[in-house]
Amino acid sequence: MSSLIERYNEPLPPWIHDIKVALKRDIAESRFAALSRAGDIQVMRQLILRFWPFVDVFPKLIRKGYSRLLKSELSKQVKNPSYQRVKDFVNILLLAHQTLSDIEKDEKSHRSLWLNTATSLGFAYDDLEIEPLSEVRAIIVSVGESGDAFGMFLRFAEVEMVAEAVSKDFLASERFVSIVGARGIRWFKEHANHADGMTHEELALRLAFAFNDDRLDRNGVEMIVKNLTRLFIEAGEKCVELAAL
């Protein structure tokens, strides 16, 4: 069986692209995306307001996820110790720690950018201090649920996929960009335009596949991604209903 580091260094399977294409299509075809592109300010306000609880807590979910990873993987090493396994484990943990630290740092920055967007749409910070919708709470639970490292990293990668898909879709609308304005649009630009090197999405996917001891199964990956995407879309559609009230 290949080592953790060897699996991490393997190229991502080509079908990841197909999964992302389907995700982007599902986002673009949703009502909340169509109305946002059309410049429906009430829908846009509801999206920024109602998704805030997730944006706010996401950096904490990343930190908690790493703590769980450390405990669960350490217990595995104690049960089956060997020099090579421990060396391999330490190396992958260092990669995981650096990746998650970088993602957490960026998400804290993105949290501030989300607040800028909220301000551009007429909210004060206190307006955002609301109880999360049940649909948004379901996202928080899914992303933060305890489980194996494979599922955790895959869900973190999927959050990045959704953020990129929404951002590129909305930024393609001149109406949306005009309403949100230069200051409010930065959250979307950050997720649509990536710096050189591996994206957080790719790093998280590589870590997910590294910790996967079994044969990599497209159907299993697709199911996790689709389930979480569905939760995001359901929350977005709930925002459309609230905007109409």
Sign of CA dihedral 203, 204, 209, 212: positive
| Number of domains composing the chain | 1
* Paired tokens of 157: 């990668």
Residue 146: predicted pLDDT: 67
92 neighbors 102 (Cβ within 8 angstroms): no
* Paired tokens of 162: 């959704």
Three-state DSSP class for residue 51: coil
* CATH code, domain carrying 23: 1.20.910.10
103 neighbors 204 (Cβ within 8 angstroms): yes
198 neighbors 8 (Cβ within 8 angstroms): no
CA 156 – CA 201 distance, rounded (Å)? 8
Of 72, 4, 56, 13, nearest to 211 (Cα)? Answer: 4
pTM of the model: 0.91
Residue 2: predicted pLDDT: 67
Residue 83: predicted pLDDT: 45
**Residue 208: partners with Cβ closer than 8 Å, 6 or more residues away:** 149, 150, 151, 152, 153, 154, 157
**Residue 180: partners with Cβ closer than 8 Å, 6 or more residues away:** 44, 117, 120, 121, 188
For residue 77, what are the domain limits?
4-244
135 neighbors 231 (Cβ within 8 angstroms): yes
**Residue 176: partners with Cβ closer than 8 Å, 6 or more residues away:** 36, 37, 39, 44, 170
Residue 77: predicted pLDDT: 54
203 neighbors 186 (Cβ within 8 angstroms): no
Q: Is residue 242 classed exposed, middle or buried when 0-12, 13-18 and 19+ CB atoms within 10 A define those classes?
A: middle
Residue 73: predicted pLDDT: 64
CA 233 – CA 31 distance, rounded (Å)? 9
Residue ranges in the chain modelled with pLDDT below 50: 78, 83
